Amino acid sequence: MLDPTQLSRMDALIPAPVHARPDPAADFAVTAATAVHAADAAASVGEHVAEVLRACTGHPIPVREGPAPDGAITLTLDSAVGHPEGYRLSVTNRQVTLRAAAPAGLFAGVQTLRQLLPAVAGPWTIAGGEIRDQPRFAYRGAMLDVSRHFYTVAEVKRFIDQIARYKLNVLHLHLTDDQSWRIEIRSWPRLATYGGSTQVGGGPGGHYTQEQYQDLVAYAASRHITVIPEIDVPGHTTAALASYPELNADGVAPALFTGQGNATGFSSLATDKELTYRFVDDVLREVAALTPGDYLHLGTDETHATPEEGRLAFIDRVLPMVARHGKTVIGWHELLRSPDLPVSAIPQYWGRERSDPLMAAAVAGGHRVLLSPAHRVYLDMKYDLSTPIGYKWAGCIDVADTYDWDPGTYMDGVPEPAVLGVEAPLWSETLNSYADVEYMAFPRLAALAEVAWSPWSTHDWDSFARRLATHGPRWEAQQMNFYRSPQIPWI
Ligand code: TNX
């Protein structure tokens, strides 16, 4: 394997771009005179790149409108680039030019530009050359389970920043489960104030007020990341059932649950009570109103405590509510047990089989799907048997396992055009702190990001491992608690 310290920065990008032509003689020096030129819809991304450059160089880096002189970094919108998340980046001694059809593409280009800067210390040059790039999959997601353990607004923002650097564009927030309810619902206030008051192990927990949730959504949007809220129903609902006795079949509230739970599901909303549907509709209405993105995730997994007939009736009634509130449903793939789903509904596959008749039938019927095969992308699985936290029910998952699979050919009857995208879920039963989140997420999320963004023609484990090695110093500089997998030749 080539020595990673010899890699040029343009050869070390993650995710790998569609096309890159490094030109080591064309590095661009960022100086006290460097300005960013960006107007109109490009201006906010212009401010973002200026902020990145100010933070590392200490130079003023003003953002200006108008024609760019020599020595400038220019961001322009140009419909000729085509794909809304694609970009063209050209770096010469005299100027840096970034073009994209939409701000999301400029933002993706800026994430590339960051990696063209030195990892830790100056001289602050942007590595020279040309890049043409666009994503393979539209949906590139990470899920954070804030229910089993609570993470503060500041911690979730840090996670957003960390995933944005690798061009992920979806943050799925698992907001409710047996252990807690983490989002304020004004029509059912005890969900958050009581149902959110604890976490696994019995610690204090917490919840997001509606203002805090909106602040998170806006922060994510400023990084071109869509938040998808998950309200897991009808199972995984002890926190709600504990908060309101009338939601229980027998009218008796269970105690709050602070164990880790089991992988089968032991709680259920009362699917034959009319009040249940008023409750779900109220919750979905409030959450939809706070969420600008297109999707609501309804969970629907592991409903072993819900009689099957009740489960089907529940899903039949609840899916149209989501549509009435203007959103498209995502559910874990158990959703496919319901016949006659609207074709817009998106199953998220978390199984380990490469063949699933319900998935193939859904695709044949026109559904698009999300792939999260547990033994590849479940970030709560241990790396190896010595990993102190995490589970191993789907196997130990080291970086190469997350890297070496092709979503476009992964499942029988699920060809690439049917794959909306991929997502790596991070369940948090065993993650006691945000440092634990980082440890399980990185470096595996970088591998997932490349699977999601880069064309399969660039897929190459040796190359990836070498490139990843150069990201270690960047993560150290950000005080990230990442796992130093022995598969990677860290520098
Ligand atoms: C299964 S995958 C779950 C989660 C657990 C996870 C632990 C899925 C849809 N449900 O409730 O947290 O396993 O690995």
- CA–centroid distance, 222 to ligand 1, in Å, is 30
Atom of ligand 1 nearest to the CA of 299: 9
Does residue 474 form part of some domain? no
Q: Which of 289, 286, 188, 294 is nearest to 237 (CA)?
A: 188
In this structure, the residue with its CA closest to atom 11 of ligand 1 is: 263
Does residue 427 line the site of ligand 1, with CB under 6 A?
Answer: yes
Identify whether residues 93 and 155 lie together within a single domain.
no
- CA–centroid distance, 411 to ligand 1, in Å, is 21
Partners of 348 in the β-ladder: 332, 370
Does residue 391 line the site of ligand 1, with CB under 6 A?
Answer: yes
Does residue 380 form part of some domain? yes
Does residue 302 line the site of ligand 1, with CB under 6 A?
Answer: yes
- CA–centroid distance, 145 to ligand 1, in Å, is 10
Q: Give the end of a domain, one of 104, 133, 162.
A: 133
- CA–centroid distance, 261 to ligand 1, in Å, is 10
In this structure, the residue with its CA closest to atom 7 of ligand 1 is: 427
DSSP letter for each residue of 200-257 = TTS-----B-HHHHHHHHHHHHHTT-EEEEEEEESSS-HHHHHH-GGGSTTS-PPPP-
Domains in the chain, number: 2
Does residue 463 form part of some domain? no
Q: Which of 44, 63, 43 is nearest to 53 (CA)?
A: 63
CATH number at residue 17: 3.30.379.10
Does residue 481 form part of some domain? no
What's the pTM? 0.98
Identify whether residues 305 and 450 lie together within a single domain.
yes
Does residue 467 form part of some domain? no
Q: Mind listing the pLDDT tens digit for each residue in 178-237?
A: 999 999 999 999 999 999 999 999 999 999 999 999 999 999 999 999 999 999 999 999
- CA–centroid distance, 258 to ligand 1, in Å, is 16
Does residue 315 form part of some domain? yes
Q: Would you give per-residue pLDDT tens digits along the chain (491 residues)?
A: 567 878 999 999 999 999 999 999 999 999 999 999 999 999 999 999 999 999 999 999 999 998 888 899 999 999 999 999 999 999 999 999 999 999 999 999 999 999 999 999 989 999 999 999 999 999 999 999 999 999 999 999 999 999 999 999 999 999 999 999 999 999 999 999 999 999 999 999 999 999 999 999 999 999 999 999 999 999 999 999 999 999 999 999 999 999 998 666 899 999 999 999 999 999 999 999 999 999 999 999 988 898 999 999 999 999 999 999 999 999 999 999 998 899 999 999 999 999 999 999 999 999 999 999 999 999 999 999 999 999 999 999 999 999 999 999 999 999 999 999 999 999 999 999 999 999 999 999 999 999 999 999 999 999 999 999 999 999 999 999 999 999 999 99
Does residue 59 form part of some domain? yes
In this structure, the residue with its CA closest to atom 8 of ligand 1 is: 301
Identify whether residues 170 and 259 lie together within a single domain.
yes
Q: Structure tokens of 215?
A: 């602040």
Identify whether residues 444 and 408 lie together within a single domain.
yes
Identify whether residues 125 and 148 lie together within a single domain.
no
- CA–centroid distance, 263 to ligand 1, in Å, is 6
3-state DSSP percent of the chain in helix, strand and coil, to 5: 35, 15, 45
- Residue 258's domain spans which residues? 139-457
Identify whether residues 392 and 434 lie together within a single domain.
yes
Does residue 301 line the site of ligand 1, with CB under 6 A?
Answer: yes
Atom of ligand 1 nearest to the CA of 177: 11
Q: Is 130 an annotated catalytic residue?
A: no
Does residue 478 form part of some domain? no
Ligand 1, pocket-test mutation among 179, 180, 302, most atoms within 8 A of CB: 302
Q: In whole angstroms, what is the distance from residue 61 CA to residue 201 CA?
A: 48
Identify whether residues 230 and 119 lie together within a single domain.
no
Atom of ligand 1 nearest to the CA of 301: 9
Q: In sequence order, what are the residues at sequence separation of 6 or more whose Cβ sits closer than 8 angstroms to the Cβ of residue 376?
A: 397, 401, 402, 405
Q: Mind listing the pLDDT tens digit for each residue in 258-278?
A: 999 866 689 999 999 999 999
- CA–centroid distance, 476 to ligand 1, in Å, is 30
Identify whether residues 98 and 184 lie together within a single domain.
no
Identify whether residues 44 and 74 lie together within a single domain.
yes
Identify whether residues 100 and 187 lie together within a single domain.
no
Does residue 184 line the site of ligand 1, with CB under 6 A?
Answer: no
Q: Give the end of a domain, one of 133, 156, 179.
A: 133
CATH number at residue 431: 3.20.20.80
In this structure, the residue with its CA closest to atom 1 of ligand 1 is: 263
Q: Mean pLDDT for the chain?
A: 96
Does residue 350 line the site of ligand 1, with CB under 6 A?
Answer: yes
Q: Give the end of a domain, one of 106, 133, 160.
A: 133
Identify whether residues 116 and 185 lie together within a single domain.
no
Identify whether residues 96 and 179 lie together within a single domain.
no
Q: In whole angstroms, what is the distance from residue 471 CA to residue 115 CA?
A: 9
Which candidate in 85, 184, 286, 302 is catalytic? 302
Q: Give yes or no for a cis peptide into 84 (omega within 30° of 0).
A: no
